[in-house]
Amino acid sequence: MNAFGATLARDLRLALRGGGDVLTLVLFFVIVGVVVPFAVGPDQALLARLAPGMIWIAAFLSMLLGLDRLFRPDHEDGTLLLLRQADLPLPAIVAAKLVAHWLLAALPLLLASPLLALLLSMDLASFWRTLLSLAVGTPALAAFGAIGASITVGIGRGGLLAPILIAPLSVPVLIFGVGAIPAGPGPDQSGSALLFLAAISLIACATAPFAAALAINAGED
């Protein structure tokens, strides 16, 4: 298995064997969703209208939470420094870590979203649409997350800073993400929103590894 596969397999093995890392993210996702009715009130119609936005906010927050695990452990035990001397250029290694991050942070949320849809009394049609927009949008969140994590890896207590940095960059993803779910009055532009979302995801996933590698190299050791 070449270096790309090795990095991907190692990250997956570390997280799954690491006990509970994935589970905590899913729990956080569900809790953010469950808290909404307490704050907004149990009125079914209102919840149904808010549901797509709330699921997206829950996914957005829990992906921010999983950011610190991306580069910091490797930086602290010296692996990141050695990965620069690997057979594969650093952007490719970062791409492998990005894929692992999506599999560990975003995929579990997609699998857990039916539970939230049930709790927020979403109808089946808009649930499938939400799932689709999440699947298309979360790679962009993972890509921006990788950039944010690589920038703050060099800072001692930078863990809190990455979410602040990438929240503004993720505004378009949220807008088109929720926009891709047809809801309520007004012109139905969910089709075009989904296309914009896909475009942003593709651009982000294509450029993030290079930007992240550049930030890691610029950070020196």
Quote the least distance from Cβ 44 to other proteins, whole Å: 23
Task: Considering the complex, state which of residue 112 and residue 181 has its C-beta at the smaller distance from other proteins.
Answer: 181
Q: Which is nearer to other proteins, 37 or 209 (CB)?
A: 209
Give residues in contact with other proteins (CB under 8 A).
1-3, 5-7, 10, 13-14, 17-18, 76-79, 81-88, 93, 147, 151-152, 154-158, 161, 164-165, 167-169, 171-172, 175-176, 179, 186-187, 189, 196, 200, 207, 211, 214-215, 218-221
Residue number, 74 or 113, with CB nearest to other proteins: 74
CB of 213 to other proteins, least distance (A): 10
Q: Provide, rounded to whole angstroms, the least separation between the CB of residue 38 and other proteins.
A: 26
* Complex with other proteins: residue 6 or 132, whichever CB lies closer: 6
At its nearest, how many Å lie between other proteins and the CB of residue 156? Answer: 8
Residues 6+ apart with CB under 8 A from 187: none
